[in-house]
C-alpha cells in the first residue's frame, strides 16, 4: 500500500528529530506518539504542513544547560547539572516546572517541555511551554544543603526567567520548600519582589489556594467528566494510585471525597495495598511531615500490606491512576488491568504509560486519558496564580477549586470534540494532540517564521 504525503512528511520529521537528538528515548517516544496521532488531523487540514510548522513545532526555541556547584554540610563541594528548555512561546511566556531528581538529563527535560507545550495550550490560559530541573537528589539532604543548592541553581537561572518571559514552578523533588529558597535567591539577586516569576509559592507570600492540590484534584475531576459522559460517577469505584508524592496524595484525597475507595499507593521502595482504603491524613503524616516511606504507612494500618515485588496494577480496580513517573505502566501490566475489568486509566504523571501499554488499553476499549489533558490542573492553577499576582489579588480556596473544575471540564470537552471531528470518538489522545497542536500552530502562523 502506498503511503500518503502526510505520512511521508511525518516520518521524515521524526527521523530528523531522532538524528538531531541522539540518546533521548523519552523525547523520541513523546514526539513519535504526537506526530503519529496528528496524521488524521493533517490529512484534513494540510495547511498546517507549511510553512515549516511541524519542523518548528518539534524544535525548542532555546535550551539552557549549566553547572550547579554547592557545598554540603561537611564542607564537600558537589557539582550538578541544571537545565531549562524553553520550548515554545507562541501562546505566552514559557511555563513549566522544575524537577530535581537523579534521573534528570537533557533528554528527559526535552520530553517534558515538549509535552508541556500541548498541555498548556489545552488549558486556554495563554501560556507557552517549558521545563527545567537538575540531576540533584534532594532525598536525605538537610534543609541547609537544599537551600544552598537552590541558591546556586537560581544564581544561573535568574537571568533566563521573568513573569513575561519564563515562569517556572515545582515538579518532582521541588515543593514549597524549594520554591521558597529559589524565590528568595531570585529576590536577593534582582532586588525586587516579583511574585509572578515563580508559581507554587506559599499562600502567605503570593501563592494561590489549591496549587498544592491542583494536579491530583484536576486528575480526578477529569476522570469524573469521563465517567459522567457514560452516565456514571466515582461513587463506589475501586481505584489504584501509583506514587505517594504531591499528585498521588491529592488524587487519593479527591477520589475518596467523591465516594471512591483508593486501595494502593507506592514509592521507589515498593507499594501498599490497603483494603480498607488509603487513610489520607495518615499518608500525609508519613510522607509530607516525616518524609517517610510507604512501608511506614503500612506498619501503622492493621490490614495494609507492603510489597517489594509486583506493582499496584496487580490489584483489581475500576479506575487506575498512574501518578509516579514516565513509563511505569507497561504492556504486561496493562494486560493485568484489562483482565481485572478496569474501566478508566488516566495519567497523573507525564507519559507514565508505555506505547505498548496504551495500545493494550485502547484495544480493550478502556477509557484512556493522556497526561497532557488529565494532569493539566497543576499548570492551570499556576496560570491562575500568575493572574492573581498580576492583579495583587488572593482568591479563596473554594473560588480557586471552582475555577480548576471549570478548566478541567473545558479540557475534556475540547479533547472529546476534537476527537469526534476526526471521526475517532472517545480517542482522547488524538483529541488532545490535535486540539493542542492547532492552538499553538495557529499562533505560530500568525506570528510568522520566528
Written in H, E and C, the secondary structure of 312-336 is HHHCCCCEEECCCCCCCECHHHHHH
- Least Cα distance to 449 among 61, 38, 110 occurs for 61
- Find out whether 199 and 174 touch, Cβ atoms under 8 Å: no
Task: Clarify whether 131 is annotated catalytic.
Answer: yes
- Least Cα distance to 389 among 127, 137, 203 occurs for 203
* Rounded CA separation 245/259 (Å): 21
* Rounded CA separation 208/199 (Å): 8
* Rounded CA separation 184/56 (Å): 36
Q: Count other C-beta atoms under 10 Å from residue 5's C-beta.
A: 11
**Which residue carries 544543603 as its cell?**
145
- Least Cα distance to 267 among 293, 237, 240, 291 occurs for 293
Going across the sheet that includes 166-170, the strands are 62-71, 77-88, 129-134, 94-100, 166-170
**Which residue in 131, 254, 287, 372 is the catalytic one?**
131
Q: Pull the grid cell for residue 37.
A: 496521532
- Least Cα distance to 320 among 301, 339, 343 occurs for 343
Q: In Å, how far are 45, 133, 250 from 103, measured between CA atoms?
A: 38, 10, 24
**Which residue carries 528548555 as its cell?**
85
The enclosing H or E element of 32 equals helix 25-44
Q: Pull the grid cell for residue 260.
A: 471512591
- Find out whether 231 and 208 touch, Cβ atoms under 8 Å: no
DSSP bridge partners of 322: none
* Rounded CA separation 352/337 (Å): 15
Return the DSSP state at 329. Answer: B
Q: Is 241 helix (H, G, I), strand (E, B) or coil?
A: strand
- Asked if the bond preceding 51 is cis, omega within 30° of 0, the reply is yes
- Which phi and psi (to 5°) does residue 267 adopt? -150, -170
- Which phi and psi (to 5°) does residue 100 adopt? -110, 105
Residues contacting 419, CB < 8 A, separation 6+: 425, 426, 427, 428, 430, 431, 434
The residues annotated as belonging to the active site are 131
Amino acid at each position: 500500500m502506498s503511503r500518503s504525503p502526510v505520512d511521508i512528511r511525518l516520518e521524515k520529521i521524526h527521523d530528523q528529530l531522532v538524528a538531531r537528538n541522539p540518546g533521548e528515548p523519552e523525547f523520541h517516544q513523546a514526539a513519535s506518539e504526537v506526530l503519529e496521532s496528528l496524521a488524521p488531523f493533517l490529512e484534513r487540514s494540510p495547511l498546517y504542513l507549511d510553512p515549516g510548522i511541524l519542523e518548528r513545532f518539534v524544535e525548542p526555541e532555546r535550551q539552557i544547560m549549566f553547572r550547579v556547584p554547592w557545598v554540603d554540610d561537611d564542607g564537600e563541594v558537589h557539582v550538578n547539572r541544571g537545565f531549562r528548555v524553553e520550548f515554545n512561546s507562541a501562546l505566552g511566556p514559557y511555563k513549566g516546572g522544575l524537577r530535581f531528581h537523579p534521573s534528570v538529563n537533557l533528554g528527559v527535560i526535552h520530553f517534558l517541555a515538549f509535552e508541556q507545550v500541548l498541555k498548556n495550550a489545552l488549558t486556554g490560559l495563554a501560556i507557552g511551554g517549558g521545563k527545567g530541573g537538575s540531576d540533584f537528589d534532594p532525598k536525605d539532604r538537610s534543609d541547609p544543603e537544599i537551600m544552598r543548592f537552590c541558591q546556586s541553581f537560581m544564581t544561573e537561572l535568574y537571568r533566563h526567567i521573568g513573569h513575561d518571559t519564563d515562569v517556572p514552578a515545582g515538579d518532582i523533588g521541588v515543593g514549597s520548600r524549594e520554591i521558597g529558597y529559589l524565590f528568595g535567591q531570585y529576590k536577593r539577586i534582582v532586588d525586587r519582589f516579583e511574585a509572578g516569576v515563580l508559581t507554587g509559592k506559599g499562600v502567605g507570600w503570593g501563592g494561590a489556594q489549591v496549587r498544592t492540590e491542583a494536579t491530583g484534584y484536576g486528575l480526578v475531576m477529569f476522570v469524573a467528566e469521563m465517567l459522567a459522559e457514560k452516565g456514571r460517577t466515582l461513587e463506589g469505584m475501586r481505584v489504584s494510585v501509583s506514587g505517594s508524592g504531591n499528585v498521588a496524595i491529592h488524587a487519593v484525597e479527591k477520589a475518596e471525597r467523591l465516594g471512591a475507595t483508593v486501595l494502593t499507593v507506592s514509592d521507589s521502595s515498593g507499594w501498599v495495598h490497603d483494603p480498607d482504603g488509603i487513610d489520607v491524613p495518615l499518608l500525609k503524616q508519613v510522607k509530607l511531615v516525616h518524609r517517610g516511606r510507604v512501608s511506614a504507612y503500612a506498619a501503622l494500618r492493621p490490614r495494609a500490606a507492603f510489597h517489594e515485588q509486583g506493582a499496584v496494577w496487580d490489584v483489581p480496580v475500576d479506575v487506575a491512576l498512574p501518578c509516579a513517573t514516565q513509563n511505569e505502566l507497561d504492556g504486561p501490566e496493562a494486560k493485568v488491568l484489562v483482565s481485572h475489568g478496569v474501566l478508566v486509566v488516566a495519567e497523573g504523571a507525564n507519559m507514565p504509560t508505555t506505547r505498548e501499554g496504551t495500545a493494550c488499553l485502547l484495544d480493550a476499549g478502556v477509557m484512556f486519558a493522556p497526561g497532557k489533558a488529565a494532569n493539566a490542573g497543576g499548570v492551570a492553577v499556576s496560570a491562575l496564580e500568575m493572574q492573581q499576582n498580576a492583579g495583587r489579588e488572593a482568591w479563596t480556596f473554594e473560588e480557586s477549586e471552582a475555577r480548576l473544575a471549570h478548566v478541567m471540564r473545558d479540557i475534556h470537552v475540547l479533547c472529546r470534540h476534537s476527537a469526534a471531528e476526526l471521526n475517532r470518538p472517545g480517542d482522547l489522545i488524538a483529541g488532545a494532540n490535535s486540539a493542542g497542536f492547532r492552538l499553538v500552530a495557529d499562533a505560530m502562523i500568525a506570528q510568522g517564521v520566528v
